[in-house]
Structure formats: C-alpha cells, structure tokens
Structure 1
Amino acid sequence: MKKVLYAITLGCALIVSVPAQASNKIAVVNVVDIFQQLPEFVTVTQKLENEFRARTSTLQNMERDLQMQIQNLQRDRLTMKESEQLRVEKDVLKQREEFNTKARVFEQDNRRRQIEERNKILHKIQNAVQKVANLQGYDLVIDQSAVAYCTPSKDITADVLKQVK
C-alpha cells in the first residue's frame, strides 16, 4: 500500500512540475560560429604561428637533412666499408631519435599553447553568453550542437557575437 501511495504522489508531483518547467526561457547559441567569426581567432592563429615559426623551420630542416642522409646511405651502401656503414647508420639512428624527441616536444608545446589561447577566447564567449542571457531573461542557454531543432527566435548567437566584439 505504501508503494502505491508513493507512486501516486510521485506521479502527481511530476505532472505538476511539467508546466512549471515549460515556463523556463531556453535559448541556443552557436559557440563554434562565434569562435570562428571573432577577429581574435585570426590574431591568435597568427600569434601562434609566429611563436612557433623558428622551431617549425628547425624541425623541417632536421627532417630534410635526415631524409637526405638516409637516401645517401641507401645509395652508397654497397660501396661503403662495413665499419663506415655502421657508423653512418648509428649516426642516422641518433639523429632520427633526436628529431622524434624534438618533434614530440614541439607538438606538446604547440598543443598546450593552442589550448591556452582557445580557453581564453572561450572564457570571453562564456561571459558574453551569461551577460546576454541575464539581459534577455533566459534561464538556460544550450550550445546549438547539442540541439536537434530550435526556432530561430531562440538563437542568441548574433547577440552574443555583438557582445563579444
């Protein structure tokens, strides 16, 4: 009997709460679109390219030199003495390991800086979303990528973009 009474009470509570939830104002925002339209996006991209340009050039030169040495070794292998061949192979392996280590560190540094800069911009966008939501009285703002359908009147992307710029 207690279980039946509990189920009826829970059912009534759910029925009563549905209209209350329907009165919430919900909006959607396309964060990716805002992110790509910001002038800061281009500035940050160029800044990161400039920051890593020297290291990129160094790695490209190392890779080119390594490939040349490998080609020379393959081409001249038959005419080399065995001791010279072993020395060159060891040198190539050492350079390949050095290149791989530097490339790995470069990728990690590059990824870390991209994430840092992206997070700065996303934080700015999030603040703008909160400001627009408060000004327009929205209770909930959802990213457009998580929504199957929304009427255009509920899309606040343009307002957020104005606020961020």
Structure 2
Amino acid sequence: MKNFLFVMWLSMILAISTCAYAEKIAIINIDEIFQEIATNKAVPTQLEKEFKSRVDELQKLEKILYSQLHQWQNSGTKPSEKERQLFETKRIDYINKSQQFKEDYQRRQQEEGNKILQTIKRSTKAIAEKESYDVVVDLNAVLYPEKISNLKNITDLVIKRVQ
C-alpha cells in the first residue's frame, strides 16, 4: 500500500510539473508541410531525371520481350530450345533489373524524404526558440482536436521559413 501511495504521489508531482513547464504549446501539420516542400523542391522531377536512363532501359527490354512473345503467338510457330533459353535469360534479366530499380528508387525517395524532414525539424526548432514555445506537437498527435483553438498553429510559419 505504501508503494502504491508513493507511485501515485510521484505521478501527481510529475504531471503537475509537466503542466507547469509547458505553458506555451504550438501545433504543426507535418503532412501539410511535407507535401508543400516536396512539391516546391521538385523532388519527383529530380528523381525522374536521375532514373530516366534506367527507366528507358527497362522499357526497351520490356518492348523486346513483348514483341518476341507476340511474334511467336501471331506466327503460330513454336520457338526452338535456343530461342526459349535466350528469351528466358532476357526475361530474368528484366525481372532482376526492375527489382533493383524499384529498390534503388525507393531508397532515393526515402533519402529525399529524410532530407525534407530534417529541414522541417530545423525550421520548427528555430521558430519554437524564437517564439518561446515550450512544446511543439504534430496536429495528428493531438488527442482532443476540439480544443485545438487554444493552441497556436505554426504550420504556415514553418512553410515560409523553409521556402
């Protein structure tokens, strides 16, 4: 019983001290900021340019495979063993290259996303320090959204600072 009372007392003290400390609270919408920055920094266009040669190569391989397959289907002839092996080698090469492309593209998307998140974090921290906010919370983490009007939304400030 003594331990229970001690734990309750300690929890109450911590809760009171936390509430007393966090006098100025702001919220941000990280999703909105992320979308705004990603669009303005032209990340999709940048990645498209970076991977264009590989996309072209995959499209070329795909076209070759489909044309060979259609040629066999339209002519009604059965391919020789050598032709089938060559086709299977090209198909496996295409599958391997496309899987590697997907992995590399996703990795680069993740890298660019992490850069944007770091930029958001630095900007949010600078604004919070400048405006003397004790706590900045993502809008999606707010438990009682109906009481958001009491909180200062600094999403637009972060977007302006990043741009």
**Matches of 1:59 and 1:102, distance apart in 2:** 7
Which of 108, 125, 134 in structure 2 is aligned with 1:130? 125
**Matches of 2:8 and 2:37, distance apart in 1:** 48
AA paired with 1:60?
A: Q
**Matches of 2:96 and 2:14, distance apart in 1:** 59
**Matches of 2:73 and 2:94, distance apart in 1:** 20
The answer as to whether partners of 1:73 and 1:88 remain within 8 angstroms in 2 is: no
Structure 1 runs, 4 residues or longer, greater than 6 Å off: none
Q: Greater shift after overlay, 5-14 or 124-133?
A: 5-14
Q: Deviations over 1:43-89 (max 9, x none)?
A: 22211111111211111121111011112223334x34xxx522221
The answer as to whether partners of 2:28 and 2:138 remain within 8 angstroms in 1 is: yes
AA paired with 2:57?
A: T
**Matches of 1:71 and 1:127, distance apart in 2:** 55
Partner residue, 1:95: 90
Partner residue, 1:5: 2
TM-score, normalisation: structure 2: 0.84
TM-score, normalisation: structure 1: 0.83
AA paired with 1:14?
A: S
Partner residue, 2:59: 60
What's the Cα RMSD here?
A: 2.1
Structure 2 stretches of 5 or more lacking a match? none
Structure-to-structure mapping, 1:6-155, within 5 angstroms? 6-23=3-20, 24=22, 25-38=24-37, 41-77=40-76, 79-80=77-78, 84-148=79-143, 149=145, 151-152=148-149, 153-155=151-153
Structure 1 stretches of 5 or more lacking a match? none
AA paired with 2:129?
A: N
Q: Percent identity?
A: 30
AA paired with 1:62?
A: L
